[in-house]
Structure 1
């Protein structure tokens, strides 16, 4: 981790302040502290502390501010945040777009249970993944739905990637069981990466929103996250190709398609995020309700380190 980013995230004394701040009571959330996700380097997280469970929090300058808004999943970039949350008392959910002060800009209905969320680096595009049931091809088990929205126009860029022309291993491919999840955006506004599954195989795919095409790049790559320089993909890799055995974080070089497994031996079931060009971060659960954010070098060296206790769904604010 670079010295500048470490100063933003961690207090002197190995993160003592953040550890203490993670356990502030709900008075902080009730006070609706003013936050600004566009005011410079920091972290946006979903709190899992007992006193502020589910509330969003911004960590900057050794201070943790808890906002009034609650989400199941969050991500942010360029002053825009996407919040996946329940929509009323029924078992339905919505996509909420939030401004730089985490105030609601707009909401959209979402089919399914929230799972993943991302925002393009310029804040223009947002994407979400939800679990759904009822698809006949999988016997009623969970499948996925991806949505992509242009925040400047309010138009849906993609509501079903399954309709895109798919090339698998260099050949056109169609199948009823094709599923996509975990979209991450390139900087050109049209290129994206995601996970595609079919016939019990999971692939990293590269897609083009304008051409409505998708092609496979590598196998056993899930929940990709494009590096800030656009040259690498951080992802979770099923151990031995079998998700039942768990996942390990890894980084794929897009030029060579060589994957480096990172120095984290626990199972990571998350869409990994980049803290900077050399470090990635992810959430690990401690129990049913609580999780912590950890970091590890992106080159396979070093060791995993606790970054933010009582937090999950991290996004680095640039």
Structure 2
């Protein structure tokens, strides 16, 4: 085949691929518009011009109709009551009384992803591009550090060959690094594999120590990190998406308990001081980063059966003493304001 013929074929294929991607983007945008334009399926009010006072939970509203995908708030003591809706679209939320971290998808012919920070008045502090599909975000207890995780390839943690990018910044804007560039130790040896991935950061109160998931070769570890020395050391196997309790005494995470191609993740809680682990009586597979309601109760999101794109937030006791209870309907990515 002549060179010109090969060029024409490649060009034609490129046009087809671009057209397909454009069609997908348009359809996804139309679906989002239709889902969010009908009357809301829940009672909602306009949010005050700022993060609300008192004990609240921030989350992504997933009720169909107006307000779908927007940042919302409910009081801790009235989670089933009317929700305060903002005009801020988020896929993942982390918040405290002073700042909100919002990972978002901007749908259109070309879909892009971003990470935004908002102040207590819900005014945007800064915006930065995200490397891929939003996955996880966390704030340090004092709200000065923010971690973000995105899927660079793949779209969930059950996808074969997925790749993540996890970074830590100060809320003021200083880049503290991509965690893949930290020195990582597993079983007393450096982890140098090209397939290593890190995700699911949770911070301690000292603004230096953190925990995260390290993965390589199909295995996952709970790792203890140090921002000053830029190191991470594996301390336990089979632990993902850790979340440190407010008092720093316990770590909750999802624990893979099956070896099947479709993972099954249980919820586990580990004592920081003793390493003792208990698995909680949640019969469903949980693919979320746990949030602590307080030092006794855990919150997490679950897909709503028969309703793609819709979720509920559930609560379960961290000591394994009771079954899971529905906490907030039509909600995802809960974050307790402290």
TM-score (norm 1): 0.85
Q: Distance in 2 between matches of 1:183 and 1:202?
A: 14
Q: What's the offset of the Cα at 1:164?
A: 1.0
The answer for the alignment partner of 1:133 in structure 2 is 153
Matched, 1:39 2:53: yes
Q: 1:48 to 1:140 in 2, by over 3 A?
A: closer
- Of the three residues 262, 281, 304, the one matched with 2:280 is 262
Please give the per-residue CA displacement for 1:62-103, whole angstroms capped at 9, x wherever unaligned: 452111111111111241110011246322111100112322
> Unaligned 5+ residue runs, structure 1?
1-20
Q: What's the offset of the Cα at 1:37?
A: 2.7
1:119-198 → structure 2 map (5 Å cutoff): 119-133=139-153, 141-152=161-172, 154-158=173-177, 160-198=178-216
- Of the three residues 32, 53, 56, the one matched with 2:71 is 56
**Contact 2:166 / 2:180 at 8 angstroms: preserved in 1?**
no
Q: Distance in 2 between matches of 1:124 and 1:210?
A: 15
Q: 1:22 to 1:117 in 2, by over 3 A?
A: farther
**Contact 2:242 / 2:252 at 8 angstroms: preserved in 1?**
yes
Please give the per-residue CA displacement for 1:24-83, whole angstroms capped at 9, x wherever unaligned: 37xx4xxx5315436221111110111221011111264521111111111112411100
**Contact 1:38 / 1:79 at 8 angstroms: preserved in 2?**
no
TM-score (norm 2): 0.80
The answer for the alignment partner of 1:99 in structure 2 is 119
Indicate the structure whose relative CO is greater, using CA pairs within 8 Å and at least 6 residues apart.
1
**Contact 2:299 / 2:334 at 8 angstroms: preserved in 1?**
yes
The answer for the alignment partner of 2:218 in structure 1 is 200
Based on CA coordinates, which of the two structures has the bigger radius of gyration? Answer: 2
Q: Distance in 1 between matches of 2:262 and 2:54?
A: 40
Matched, 1:23 2:25: no
Q: What's the offset of the Cα at 1:176?
A: 0.9
Q: Distance in 2 between matches of 1:64 and 1:300?
A: 29
The answer for the alignment partner of 1:18 in structure 2 is none
CA RMSD of aligned residues (A): 2.0
Q: How many residues align?
A: 287
**Contact 1:194 / 1:223 at 8 angstroms: preserved in 2?**
yes
